[in-house]
Structure 1
Amino acid sequence: MYTIVDIETTGNGIHGNRITEIALYNLDENGISDSYSSLVNPQSEIPAFITGLTGISTAMVRQAPLFHELAPKIEEMTRGRIFVAHSVNFDYPIVQQEFRRAGLEFVRKKLCSVRLSRKVFPGLKSYSLGKLCSSLKIPLENRHRAAGDAHATTLLFQRILESPQGKEAISRFLNARSQESTLPPHLPKTSYQNLPETPGIYYFLNSKKEIIYVGKAINLKKRVLSHFYDKSEKELIMCRETADLDFECSGSELVALLMEAAAIKKYYPRYNRAQKSRKPTFGLFTYTDQSGIRHLAINKLQKGQNSLKVFYKPTEARLFLEALCTEFGLCAKFCHLQDGVSHCNHFRVPQCAGVCRGIETPDTYNLRIENALRALDQKAENILIREKGRHTDEEALVWIAEGMYRGYGFVPKMSEVNSLEDLEPFLTPQKAYPETAQIIGAYLLKNPEKGRERARMDVPGAIETGRLL
């Protein structure tokens, strides 16, 4: 029926993590029917801190069998049985990976004794194997050795089977459609169930209530669950630390992106890397060719270079240049949106006045280039971007003053809003970062109609009652 498994490893990360010892106990209706354990040669050094924890040294495993030599025995013992482990989402993928290295597939139904224990024995302070055995008076010998831990897990699993709600809990966890079995072992089911299926940001917290990861989502529940399906090294380690979830609704993806950027800067979570050291990598440059025609071009930034404008992604840069060409009637060929063509015919940029066909003079064309560059230097207008609120009775807004991001807010649709002063109680001031400038810039490039909804906040009555311009 069940095979209870425990492994000891080199501790070098999931993909580099090699098994140093494995133990299996087969459990049937009448009790333990078979058992097996062996040291395993990981074909790599065992770090000193792992030896200190388990007592297994590199010298001890040097003459031990390789995993592929043990694979037939492990496959035979587990065939047709349910794979049970304490924190199964750690043990099972590593065993699977060892089978793959041996050129074999290993697929079993699985159960986590941590999650089952939380269901069957609620209210305990800790569900680590040692603390559980202490609380339930289960003997545990040879801690942090595969045979000792596997035997204790077997006795724990027997207690679960004997409990009044044990079989029902096991049946629910084995349901192939049940999402609960994919959750991290220390995460209460209610933390996941409380997540809405709406846009927002989410927080992963460890047992000390420290925020270890922040993410944004269009569907919070679906996005959080995807972390638990991900078997990458980072995700598995992070999920094992996750003991609670928190969230904030945003109403829209734009506000979620801005909220996420602010939260990462505020908490600097350990598993967030993307926004900690982001630097612009592309720049807008200009030069004049031998014919006297002024060019604009996007190129990678080199150290010490000064550009007219910086960008973080090539797509963002191209969209900006396309918008500039459209607004000022610039030539896609001489803005290097099209190379190797005799004259411009870009599918997103209207045809120019003819500088590329010899119809317009370079001097006339260069005046438009000067106007475009002058516009880059001018003080930006104030903008209030309207987006969906967190519910149907409100709107979200993003406030940009003189080209600088100032914050976001949520305004009830029935509110009397006639001026910026009326909006201030609803606004959440925020600091501007390069990341927020990139987010808003990319949004306005993809939604140019939003950029035209200017709020002339110095003019009384420019913000209509109940409607944001």
Structure 2
Amino acid sequence: MYSIIDIETTGNGIKGNKITEISIFNFDGREIVDEFTSLVNPECEIPYFITGLTGIDDTMVRDAPKWKEIAHLVLEMTQDTIFVAHSVNFDYNVIKNEFSNIGITYSRKKLCTVRLSRKLIPGFNSYSLGKLCSALNIPLTDRHRARGDAHATVLLFKKLIAIEGAASVFKTFLNARSQEGTLPPDLPKEAFEKLPNAAGVYYFKDQKGSIIYVGKAIDIKKRVLGHFYNKSNKEVRLCKATHDIDYELSGSELVALLMESEAIKKHYPQFNSSQKRISKEVAVFSYEDRNGILHLAYNNLKHVSNPIATFSTIADCRSFLEEICQGHELCPKFCHLQENAESCSHYSIRNCRGICRGKEAIVTYNDRVKSAIKAEKEKNKNIIIPEKGRTPNERAFVLLAEGQYKGYGFIEKTEPIQGLDDLENFLERKRENVDTKRIINWYLRKFPHRSIPLSHPTTP
């Protein structure tokens, strides 16, 4: 037995979405054996754009039953049946959430008529309910009302179930291991199956082949599957718009992060929010006060002419100052880790030699500040970061020269490398930006011993 269902909602994603109308047809594979249709009081206002789409307004649902008043009927009608809908994950998850809100766990096997149609009647440009009904001469009345759409889905389902070979397709789709019920409605299973369990970047594409989301992962296939299980509003909209997924291998997380950053800035995908915003970089600089004491401080990069180091957040900047202060026995007060204090009393940095209390000569303290600045500017100036390659016979590298990110590359392990000139042949040159600096600084702080210093800079 199948319960073929359609709902109308307030349109607020999954968790905030409330049902305004529901229609259920119980279908035994040959004919309709039961029906239930009802408006539902969502106990909240219906947005104007939803009323414009469905015709359902606050007045129509004011005296309609609330979900808790019809929940038992929905439970009874769908008991021991297979939940069927066009783009089933949307209807199923909204109904499941409505049950959850009243303390009931709802679980049913499910089938999606979009995915079934793609498999059993391939070749259409669109598998929307309206386009399919038009192409297959299925009558569709009261579009965007629950009963009209549900009844049209019944007629579509009846055609699908009669197609030769449909029984084995249905059996495969209902297999819990098939993941057919989890995949986005317009994503061919083959597009998901080709994804590797390896590090790299992946690209969600829409119907036109445009990239709408870029992500990175240590395990691409596992991470992509995570998008399908995520029921946040953004993820639901992303999955609904996804028609294909492509990928590039990176070999390692670091290279994947750099590839992802570049791809986001190149394609400006609709569903990526991070790294599209213009970041305000923070810079560390030095200055001498009226007493001749050298300070280390930070400000917005645009106000700093000769930065010692730059960061994407104030938190990262302060962490850097704490490290340099601790490592060179500098004063937290004169590193601007403490403000409006006569002398330093930092909770963790306690090795100040007393410059803030007049117990250390200014020239001696300033020499240590200058030494710290020099060491920082020389650190990571010319380095290579070795990484895992995309295959067992390959290695990857990330190159920094003159303190700037120059790009990454891949080399066969058998390839002899004598110096920077050899690396140039394999280097994929990239532009440095605030995000690549943030990524590399994070990596070097997390793994300070993985980089290899180079004696000579590469050619710019």
Q: TM-score, normalised by structure 2?
A: 0.86
**Partner-residue secondary structure (3-state), 2:36:** strand
Letter in 2 for 1:400: L
Q: Secondary structure at the match of 1:398?
A: strand
The equivalent of 2:195 in structure 1 is 195
The question of 1:180 aligning with 2:152 is answered no
Deviations 1:243-277 (A, max 9, x none): 00011111111110011010111111111111111
SS of the counterpart of 1:182? coil
Q: Is the 8 A contact 1:295 1:335 kept in 2?
A: yes
CA contact (8 A) 2:29 2:158 kept: no
Give distance in 2, aligned partners of 1:380 and 1:155. 67
Residue in structure 1 matched with residue 412 of structure 2 by the alignment: 412
Q: Which residue in 2 is equivalent to 1:72?
A: 72
Residue-by-residue CA offset, 1:45-94 (whole Å, 9 max, x unaligned): 43443333323333333332222222222122112222111101111111
- Give the whole-Å Cα distance in 1 for the aligned partners of 2:424 and 2:301: 41
Secondary structure of the 2:441 match is helix
- Match of 2:450, SS? helix
Counterpart AA for 2:166: G
CA distance in 2, matches of 1:38, 1:120: 32
Unaligned runs of 5+ in 2: none
Taking structure 1 as reference, are residues 411 and 331 closer, same or farther at Cα in structure 2, changes over 3 Å only? farther
Matches within 5 A, 1:56-205: 56-205=56-205
Superposition deviation, residue 432 in structure 1: 1.1
Q: Distance in 2 between matches of 1:420 and 1:253?
A: 24
Equivalent residues of 2:5, 2:150 under 8 A apart: yes
Q: For residues 204 and 253 of structure 1, what CA distance do their matches in structure 2 show?
A: 19
Q: 2:386, 2:451 within 8 Å by CA — same for their partners in 1?
A: no
1:399 equivalent in alignment to 2:388: no
Post-superposition offset of 1:370: 2.4
Contact 1:405–1:430 (Cα < 8 Å) also in 2:
yes
| CA gap 1:281/1:422 in 2 versus in 1, 3 angstroms | closer
1:6 alignment counterpart: 6
**SS of residue in 2 equivalent to 1:449:** coil
Aligned residue for 1:55?
55
Question: Quick one: which amino acid aligns to residue 136 of structure 2?
Answer: L
- The question of whether the paired residues in 1 share the 8 Å contact of 2:308 and 2:377 is answered with no
Partners of 2:51 and 2:29 in 1: CA distance: 37
Q: Secondary structure at the match of 1:15?
A: coil
Q: Which amino acid aligns with 2:167?
A: K
TM-score, normalization by structure 1:
0.84
CA shift for structure 1 position 137:
3.4
| CA RMSD, 1 decimal | 3.6
- Indicate if the aligned counterparts of 1:320 and 1:445 stay in contact, CA closer than 8 A: no
C-alpha distance in 1, partners of 2:425/2:458?
Answer: 18
Asked if the contact 1:264–1:275 (Cα under 8 Å) also holds between the matched residues in 2, the reply is: yes
Secondary structure of 1:180 counterpart: coil
C-alpha displacement at 1:165, in angstroms?
Answer: 2.7
| Contact kept? 1:344, 1:352, Cα under 8 Å | no
Corresponding residue for residue 386 of structure 1: 386
One-letter amino acid of the counterpart of residue 427, structure 2: L
Taking a change above 3 Å as real, the CA distance of residues 424 and 40 of structure 1, as seen in their structure-2 partners, is same
**What percentage of residue pairs aligned between the two structures are identical?**
51
Distance 1:64-1:137 versus aligned 2 partners, 3 A rule: same
Structure 1 position 35 matched with structure 2 position 45: no
What SS class does the counterpart of residue 408 from structure 1 fall into?
Answer: strand
Distance in 2, Cα, partners of 1:184 & 1:30: 28
Shift of 1:417: 3.4
Q: Which residue of 2 aligns with 1:464?
A: none
Q: Secondary structure at the match of 1:448?
A: coil
Q: How does 1:138-287 map to 2 (within 5 A)?
A: 138-280=138-280, 284=284
Cα offset, 1:284, TM superposition? 4.7
Q: Structure 1 residues 455 and 398 mapped into 2: Cα distance closer, same or farther (>3 Å)?
A: farther
For 2:105 and 2:288, the matched residues in 1 are separated by 62
Q: Specify whether residues 70 and 344 from structure 1 end up closer, same or farther in structure 2 by C-alpha distance, changes over 3 A only.
A: closer
Q: Residue type matched to 1:38 in 2?
A: S
